[in-house]
Chain A
Amino acid sequence: MVLTTLKFSEEELNKIGKIARERKFKVSDDKFIYPEKTIDEIKLFCKSYRFLTILSNSIEEENLRNRIKEYLAEYQLLYKRLLKTESKLNGDISFGDSAIIRRANNIIVKNRIKILLFFDSVFPIGRHLKLYNPDDSVGVY
């Protein structure tokens, strides 16, 4: 399996991150700090992909826009496969859940490194980490 080597440079990350903050685009999830469950991972991946798509459409600088689109093209196939699973998981289907998750899990295991690389690229741009606030919470579970 050929690993993707396409990564954003530091300068590009700063630029994209700045635009994301200006436009208030976020990849945030209050419920977890880092995804470990398959379902959470799929959801975050799809969310991050959509976030980058929206961001690329709203960037005026052509070079940067093309760069993001080029980057997204590498993950397009994976996104399409995982999107099916995500839409099924979002629906109110209880029968056959385990089969769907097993299938999704297989996809994720096969593409583990690719997904982690993708997260590493997206997190510095749009991830909003929710810090623990003692005024609001009483503990963790």
Chain B
Amino acid sequence: MVGQLRHWSVPYPLTGSAYFFGRVGSGKTWKMMSLAQSFYEKGVKIIDFSGGKREEGPFWCFPSDEKKMWFDFKQDVGEMETEGPKEYPVRLLRLMWTSKMEKKVPEKLPRISTNFFTIYFKDIKIEDIALRIGAISTNAEYLWHSIVKNLPDNANGADILNLMDTKYKKFKELSIYKLFIKPMCDNHALAGKNSKFNIDIVEEIKDNRTISVLWAHKIPDELRLFFMGYVRRKCLETKLEDKVSNKIQVIGIFREVSEFMKVQDKSKQGEDQTQIFRNQISNSARYARSGFYLFLDVQSPAEVKNLIEGQDDILGINEMPSQRDREVLCDQLRIDRRISQRQISYIATMPVYQMVIVTRGKKAKLLKRVQPPRNKNWKPGDGNFLTTWKKVYNEWKSTIQIKEAIMDEYEERFYQIAKERQAKIEKARQQINMARVKKRKRKKEEDEEEYLDEETEMQESKDINISEATEDDVIKNKIDKLERDKEEINNIIEEAKTVWC
């Protein structure tokens, strides 16, 4: 006889985000995955944003191999309608980063594919760039806005580099150029509007039967926040602007969120960036009703205190031996009589397969056996994703064509730029030549006019000579004229003298 156990289903549709707390090894991540998978079955789109430092995101590709865990689970729930482990369709999304691109990447069609994507440079807002360089100066803001304004839609990183080498040469010392524009353009991550590699978040969300995993492999650590932040913003905007059906809800999974959410023991390194990202995350949580929900897991609630309080739809509490953590998390719930003192005490030594769950408007409930995740989850001894892939599937796709294609796009633009520059130079040269010709023509005309005047004068004098006067007469006339002038001058001098006297 099976005990009096009732099946627990997730509250659907979601109206807020979900947070999972627990100590290291309390199974908070895999319980979060289980809940996310249950939402997936109800038609919710899953986007795995962050796999933590171990890059656990791509483990969605493998079905669960936890035979013992499933056996134990069956002991509690009895026979199951379908098999537990499941193979999910997965799309691994990687930012184009040509300098560190491997020769082959994992791919197992039609279920698993790896897509390298570029970003349409006009889609990047200054708040995204702030996730890389921290506080944005007015000069940097002006520079980015000018780049976006001056360049056409079909331009790409090549145009930006060209612009920086020519028109905005003086801005080359700014951090926005050194830390963001230069590395992004050098690695072909920025593209024009019509590039086939551009990420289309609307299409990504519409395809809610495929799990999208952002795989920040080989991307510099400093750019990870930008990578996540950009996709997060686009997802939120897509939902806010109703570009996809309201029926499709989106869940963004963030593992080990304390990496960028913690308010205690913060490191000075990259503090600005994490602060900006934190604000953006809490904004997303506040706009949750638009249809974009966050699933976050964190070790200690004290680390994220006041950030997410009261905005949760699902709160998963796992084993938590720390008295302080329990107080921070459960005090309000206890005051509201949503959790009992016995439950709070039980949390301290709860087994790994159990979880206290608090859903919106309801009392805390102890799940006596949480279903294990249906995909494989990282555990000590597994190694990283690529080594596991090699062991399990070992199917690969060459990246040479992708690399060549994006480089061709850039080269085409370089060629276009050179061609345009050549055309400009030609035009300028032609204009100069035209101007020279015009000048010469004008000078020639003037010269001709002068020549004609002289000629007419000469002609007149010649006429005089020929007609009436002789040379002696001319000289006589000139002498007379000079004498007359002299007399006039003398008269003036005399008059002046009389006046002065």
Seen from chain A, the residues whose Cβ lies within 8 Å of a Cβ on chain B are 30-37, 40, 130-141
Contacts and interface: CB of A to CB of B under 8 A. Distances in A.
Chain B interface residue count: which class? 20 to 34
Contacts of A132: 7, 77-81
A132 to B, nearest CB: 4
Contacts of B370: 138-139
A105 to B, nearest CB: 16
Given A35-B4, A141-B8, 8 more contacts: A36-B3, A133-B7, A134-B371, A137-B9, A139-B34, A140-B6, A140-B76, A140-B368
B282 to A, nearest CB: 26
B369 interface: yes
Contacts of B374: 134
B34 A138 contact: yes
B300 to A, nearest CB: 24
A31 B6 contact: yes
Contacts of B3: 33-34, 36
B371 A33 contact: no
A21 to B, nearest CB: 19
Given A131-B78, A132-B79, A137 B4 contact: no
B8 A131 contact: no
B367 A36 contact: no
Interface string B1-38: 11111111110000000000000000000000011001
Interface of B: 1-10, 34-35, 38, 41, 76-84, 86, 355, 365-371, 374
B15 to A, nearest CB: 18
A4 to B, nearest CB: 22
Nearest to B354: A139
Nearest to A136: B9
A24 B1 CA distance: 26
Contacts of A135: 38, 41, 81-82
Contacts of B6: 31-32, 140-141
B1 A34 contact: yes
A140 B9 contact: no
Task: Please classify the interface of chain A as helix (H, G, I), strand (E, B), loop, or mixed, using the class held by over half of its residues.
Answer: loop
Given A31-B6, A33-B4, A34-B1, A140 B365 contact: no
A34 B5 CA distance: 9
Nearest to A137: B7
A109 to B, nearest CB: 18
Contacts of A32: 4, 6
A139 B371 contact: yes
B367 A133 contact: no
Contact of A140 (B38, B79, B369): B369
Contacts of B82: 133-135
A133 B81 contact: yes
Contact of B4 (A30, A37, A130, A136): A37
A60 to B, nearest CB: 34
Contacts of A35: 4
A94 to B, nearest CB: 17
A32 B77 CA distance: 11
Given A132-B80, A133-B80, A138 B4 contact: no
Contacts of B34: 138-139
Nearest to B374: A134
A134 B80 contact: yes
Contacts of B9: 136-138
B41 to A, nearest CB: 4
B38 A33 contact: no
B368 A141 contact: yes
Contact of A139 (B1, B8, B78, B86): B8
A33 B78 CA distance: 10
B79 A131 contact: yes
Contacts of A130: 7
Contacts of B76: 140
A16 B41 CA distance: 37
7 closest A-B pairs by CB: A132-B77, A140-B5, A137-B7, A139-B370, A133-B81, A139-B367, A36-B4
Contacts of A37: 4
Given A131-B78, A132-B7, A134-B374, A140 B1 contact: no
Nearest to A33: B2
Q: Which of A34, A132, A133, A136 has the most CB of B within 10 A?
A: A132
15 contacts: A30-B7, A31-B6, A33-B2, A33-B78, A34-B2, A34-B3, A34-B4, A40-B4, A135-B81, A136-B7, A136-B41, A138-B8, A138-B367, A139-B367, A141-B368
B8 A137 contact: yes
A135 B73 CA distance: 15
A37 B5 CA distance: 12
A72 B370 CA distance: 41
Residue of A30, A31, A37, A136 contacting most chain B CB atoms (<10 Å): A136
